[in-house]
A and B are shown apart, each in its own frame.
Chain A
Amino acid sequence: MALSPVQEFFADFGELCRYMGRFFARFWRRPFEGRELLRQMDEVGSKSFLLTSVTGLAIGVVLAMQSRGTLVRFGAEAVLPSMLALSVIKEIGPVITSLVLAGRLGAGMAAEIGSMRVTEQIDALEVAALKPFHFLIVTRTLACMIMFPILTMWTDSVALIGGYAESYLASGMDYRIFISTAFETIRISDVIVDTGKTSVFGFLVGMVSCYLGFTVRGGTREVGRAAMRAVVGASLLILLTDVVIVRLSIMIFGDVGT
């Protein structure tokens, strides 16, 4: 009997949670696929480098351009670097970077693993006692968990450079003033929590995409559907989880300026 879309959603969510449990039960056990983990980190990192660089630059320049007019109207142009740094490091950098990576990696991982499923490559790993869960899911998810914060720091840095470039061209701001103003309201806990949360986003992107690819049944049409669902599912989970993390971080560390 075919499931309704609502039933299918809950069935998938339940199964996804089971896969997440399996990940935590197994990722620290043998076999350690170190070489595959490095290959996946390279796949996630180096191949997303240009994308995150362009994203960061666009964020920084656009944010600076759009904020400038408003701040000038209130005579507060001097706080532009500070506002820029807070916006980029606390929220825009981590979330936009993770969403961009979810689009690039989520679709790719779901499609790759889904293709391996329909061409029996996963069964081939299984019958050769090569533990496909470790080889395919654990490595990709760990790679995302490690590389998302690194790429986010890079995006944040490029965004601030872009913001400074815009400020320099618009008002000739000195870089020493920009740096000292930018970081005066940022706390170390902000950087750790808000960059660190992208590791959770990486976990979600890795698990959702690998799960949907791993459980593909049928033919190539289902592979395409899994890729699309991976992007949508991972993006929604990033946004929802962000709300929870921000709430928790305010409860634990207080808001900026408090």
Chain B
Amino acid sequence: MSDELPEALPKEPTGSISRRDFLKKTGWIAAGVLAPAGALELIFGLKGASSAQAAEAATTAQTVPHWQFLVDANKCVGCGFCVKACKLENDVPYEADASRTWVERHVVTKDGVSHVDSPNSARDGFTTPDIDIGEGKTLQINPEDIAKAFFVPKLCNQCNHPPCVQVCPVGATYKGPDGVVLVDRTWCIGCGYCINACPYGARFFHPVYHTAEKCTFCEHRISKGLLPACVQACPFAARRIGNQNDPTDGVAEVIATQRVEVLKAEYGTNPQCFYIGLDSEVR
């Protein structure tokens, strides 16, 4: 029988099938059956995966916070405790004329002119009613001429679209999963591009490390469940921090449900530091 096989093969008796053809056809059938099934599986599978991913993302969202800051400018009295606490907590030399956070004093006189200052970033508060106009000079304002006056605390806005991160040539500054923008002091080359790119003047060169320096919402504290130094030091709760991903967070609720403002929205940075009681002339 085996001797006859080579002769029989080309003739191919009707109804019979060669092994090669059998395998070929089986393959096609299997593919034909599996393809739609596979497609269905692919679609449903993907659907399944996407819903699983969404669920996972939702759980991560609940576990990984997204920090937001709320400043109630109405409550600020310009004591400067926040600045002092920040400098001590974050190793920024006390005498250095720069700070991760600062408080501004705005005095608008009746003629519509606005006078603003922040002597030593208001590290010691505002000890004199005279306005610091730079170059060692001060300006006396007659209290009767004042139309309105208020204080505005400022800090890094931890923008959702941070221009500082965009321009860093080496990726030494980055936005963490919790929304806080950080600087890697071991990698920063000190070009200063981020400092010039920040529309809020939140960055400066650290006088000791010579790398870009900025407010981190006290990342080392908030990641351990503590409050940022400035928030803890504020006697009037003008500064508060919240977690957008926590449905029970009171601060996040205020930001979501009340009328709040951000600084310089026109730059498209999407700041995560929100203000209550901001005046239109604050920039």
- The answer to whether A and B belong to the same complex is no
B interface residues (Cβ-Cβ under 8 A, vs A): none
Which residues of A are in contact with B by a Cβ distance under 8 Å?
Answer: none
